Amino acid sequence: MRPASAMLTSISVHGNPSISGCTCEEARDSGERKRLRPVDARPPERWTSASHSDQHEADPTALNAAATSARTGPEDRSGSRRFSVNVLSSVGFITLNVGLMAWYVPFLVSNLGLAAYGMLALANSLVLYLAIVTDSLNGSVFRYLGIDLNQGDLASANRTFNSALILSVLASCLLLVPIAATCYLLPLIFQVPPELIAATRFVLAAVGVTALAALVGGVFGVSSLVRHRFDLRNIVRSLVALCRIGVVVLLFAAEPPSLVHVGIGFIVAAAISLAGDVLLWRKLTPELSINPRLIESARFRPLIGLGAWSAINVIGVLFIMQVDVIIVNQLLGPEATGRYASILLFPVLIYTMGEAVLPVLSPAIMAHYATGNKQALQELAKRSVRLLAVWLALPIGLLCGMGAPLLAFWLGPAFADLETVLLLLVAPLTINLATRPLSYVLTAYNEVKAQGLVTLALGAANVVLAIAFVRAGLGLAGVPAAAALVWTMRNVLFVSSRSAVLLGLRWYAFNGHLAIGLLGMAGVAALGRILCALWWPTGWLSLASFAAVITLAYGAFAYFVFMTKADRELVSSLFARRSPS
């Protein structure tokens, strides 16, 4: 499943690559076909009950059988090899994406200008509100289809798939209305330079079409998640990124640069992405087929029911993380929007780095939940939070410690004064991304209602605080300052503590792991500040040298101090060749 925000991050504006938190990996790929149950014309009991999770917990015998047939244990050797391949392929995709994005943003800014680039960021932020539907529906599909396939219930899986597919098509048709209305009303609602109105409308429409293609493609894309083939998934994503940017570069070379060319790149990439999702679906899950006769109205309610509360959660997330560009445009104007959007590449890169690990966790969490293995789920959750915090502390600390010279070399000396804004954008991600696996725990336990209400309330508070901070004289820094405060409160006070309680742990069980990451980030940032104060970098080479020295020092310290023996063995195993037994 590919959330809309993930699909759009490569244009390098602020995105949350997985808002609903339903993309991850289960360590298993034995290559064997599971024994399938006979086709039963009746919908399974769990689809007609009020709570899907209650049904699973009520039948431990079935859960143990499912665990045996699914072979989902992370300790399985072939699963361990698949885990390594998936992580390394994600690292490869991220390396490609980081390189493309680092080059693409200055390319767009220099060819289009700050105002036009700001309109691109504004269009992206507006369309990301479609994630209210796309992420919530795809999250429901991943949960129910993943459980059906893990339990080997082919009949139920086909009914789930076809029911979800028709829902996604209907939702896409309905969403055309708000997209068209927003395109028409755009200059009346937002500050758009008159000469950019037509082009901005086209880009908004193109990004909207891309989001709708992702909604339909997300149903097919669940197959690569459930089958744990992130290597194939990352090949498709790499082709999409290369084609989207390649089309824009070719059009810029042939004609005077325009936002219209960027919109065309989105449309071409959306077609390739949808085709890739369908091809992977056919290859990885040939047991699933499109059959209108398998559409079952009894499944609409569970899909929409879980999705409705997920949608409330997504609204809150968007109010926290995707309202920034809109507020800047309304209060500070198009030029400020362009300046702000230009540095949003960096939080996107941090999110992208997190995606190297996050996509290999959720199916494992869902599988442990589906098979009733609570102890394994506890250990996986604690280790995931700890390793993510330790891993993210390095790039975030480097950005916080060496932000000023980085911005000066990358975008020009005029952008160096945005260092404080950059720090407020990335520093909280050490904690907030490290808690992402715990959102998958809440989804597995169907705790989406409380999560949605808390997130919605905090999202509304963020909008009020951001406007107040800007008007109080904080300027651009006021917007990320509000988001940092509210987002951290949500993840530390609710997501972390509630997940710990659901897992049978003390409410503060994850706080120590988060503190380790925060301490590591602060140490790396301090080293960066000290080095830049003593020897101000004169170019990219000296800046890279400073980063390399800090990386080696932090890597050794984190490996021997922050990580447990089991953590070190896990990290080492990612790079060890393993043959299936």
Residue 22 confidence (pLDDT): 37
**Residue-wise DSSP of 255-295:** S---HHHHHHHHHHHHHHHHHHHHHHHHHH-TT----GGG-
CA–chain centroid gap for 95, Å, is: 16
CA–chain centroid gap for 77, Å, is: 28
CA–chain centroid gap for 359, Å, is: 9
Three-state DSSP class for 412?
coil
Q: Which two three-digit tokens encode residue 499? A: 């997940």
Radius of gyration of the chain (CA): 23
Residue 10 confidence (pLDDT): 37
Contact 468/50 with Cβ under 8 angstroms?
Answer: no
- Nearest one of 448, 156, 508, 470 to 317, comparing CA atoms: 448
* Beta carbons within 10 angstroms of residue 287's beta carbon: 14
Contact 86/94 with Cβ under 8 angstroms?
Answer: no
Contact 207/5 with Cβ under 8 angstroms?
Answer: no
Q: How far apart are CA 402 and CA 530, in angstroms?
A: 10
pLDDT digit string, tens, across residues 50-81: 333 333 333 333 333 333 333 444 444 555 67
Residue 574 confidence (pLDDT): 55
Tokens 């700890």, residue?
Answer: 386
Q: How far apart are CA 580 and CA 229, in angstroms?
A: 16
Residue 355 confidence (pLDDT): 66
Residue 348 confidence (pLDDT): 83
Q: In sequence order, which residues have a C-beta less than 8 Å from that of residue 6 and are 6 or more positions away?
A: 15, 17, 18, 23, 355
Q: How far apart are CA 357 and CA 3, in angstroms?
A: 16
Contact 480/324 with Cβ under 8 angstroms?
Answer: yes
Residue 114 confidence (pLDDT): 84
Q: How far apart are CA 555 and CA 398, in angstroms?
A: 13
Tens of each residue's pLDDT in the chain, 581 residues: 333 333 344 333 333 333 333 333 333 333 333 322 333 333 333 443 333 333 333 333 333 333 333 344 444 455 567 767 877 887 788 888 888 888 888 899 889 988 888 888 888 777 777 766 666 677 677 777 777 777 777 888 888 889 888 888 988 888 899 889 989 998 888 888 899 999 999 999 998 899 889 888 888 988 887 787 888 888 998 999 999 999 999 999 999 999 999 999 999 999 999 999 999 999 988 888 898 888 877 777 777 655 566 667 777 877 888 788 889 988 988 888 888 988 888 898 888 777 666 656 666 777 777 777 888 888 888 888 998 899 899 999 999 999 999 999 888 888 888 999 999 999 999 999 999 888 888 877 878 788 888 989 999 999 999 999 999 999 899 999 999 999 999 999 999 999 999 998 999 999 999 999 999 999 999 999 999 999 889 888 999 999 999 999 999 999 889 888 877 776 676 555 444 43
Q: How far apart are CA 465 and CA 459, in angstroms?
A: 10
Domain ranges of the chain: 4-26+52-574
Contact 114/416 with Cβ under 8 angstroms?
Answer: no
Q: How far apart are CA 111 and CA 104, in angstroms?
A: 10
Q: Which two three-digit tokens encode residue 98? A: 């980081």
Q: How far apart are CA 261 and CA 249, in angstroms?
A: 9
Q: How far apart are CA 364 and CA 380, in angstroms?
A: 8
Residue 17 confidence (pLDDT): 34
Q: In sequence order, which residues have a C-beta less than 8 Å from that of residue 9 and are 6 or more positions away?
A: 15, 17, 348, 351, 352
